[in-house]
Homo-oligomer: A and B are copies of this chain.
Amino acid sequence: MNTHIRVAPGDLFGDGVFETIHLRPDGPWLLHEHLARLVRSAAILGLPEPDLSELPAFTGEDIAVPGVDPGSDVPRALRIIYTGGRVHTAVTPIPPAVLRERRDGVRVITADLGVSVRRRPPWSISSAKSLSYAENFAARRWAVRQGADDMIWFATEGYALEAPTASVVWLAGGELCTVPPAEAGILPGITAAHLLSLAPSVGLRAAERMVTLDELVAADAIWLASSLRGLAEVTELDGKPRPHSPWTPRLLTLLGFPATS
């Protein structure tokens, strides 16, 4: 595990795939699911299948952030990066902003991504977690310039797709919902899928649905779901405040996150 990686210049062109995983005391959270998605993403990009047998075991003292006491409880993330050669790994502290958004929620704006869910080109990599992340970063910076924390992308047909680095999850009439990845041509969210699989255990039904902005506004609660934030509740949508949902701490607990840190 290194803080720096030696790469060929050709490795810098975003032509690879990655996963970001929450490091927990018992190991990387949902590791198997993330590795399976890494393999799928590589196939979508047309890269050779990654050799996962080279990965370290990710147990106990293996997982240390350089410069941080291994015994400390600094929240940490595991990055797995693959550009066609060796699989790289890196462990980094989780940025404070991520922990704050999990605790306090996010102010979100919505915007037309300018792409059609019905006209994804045959070579589209929109359902892969690729390293070509500049548009995602640019979208988040734009959201911040508008006074928001994050954004939700909509297709030209008017359906919600995803956030630049998260899935959209909402609660409506006792149903916990997310966007169907295949139909929308978006990345299959691992945190969202795991949450929906646990919904019955807290008395909720689970469903995948295409959703319009009006339907989203009318939902009981909206969250952005991702590996490190877990769930960040949408506390403001397009400038309109939304009440905190009593479900947010319950669902965070269900996902194994401390509800208050």
A 103-129 contacts with B by CB, 8 A: 111-116, 119-125, 128
Contact B125 A138 (CB under 8 A): yes
- Contact string against B for A residues 113-150, beta-carbon threshold 8 Å, 1 for contact and 0 otherwise: 11110011111110010111111011101100000000
Number of identical monomers bound together in the oligomeric complex: 2
Given contacts A14-B131, A132-B133, 18 further A-B contacts (CB under 8 A): A3-B8, A3-B9, A4-B6, A5-B9, A7-B12, A11-B12, A13-B131, A13-B134, A14-B14, A14-B132, A14-B133, A114-B119, A114-B124, A116-B156, A122-B142, A125-B138, A132-B134, A132-B135
**A-side interface size class:** 35 or more
Indicate if the CB atoms of A46 and B9 lie closer than 8 Å: no
Please tell me if the beta carbons of A16 and B12 are within 8 angstroms of each other in the complex. Answer: yes
A83 at the interface (CB under 8 A from B): yes
| Known contacts A15-B137, A122-B142, A133-B13; A5 and B6 CB within 8 A of each other | yes
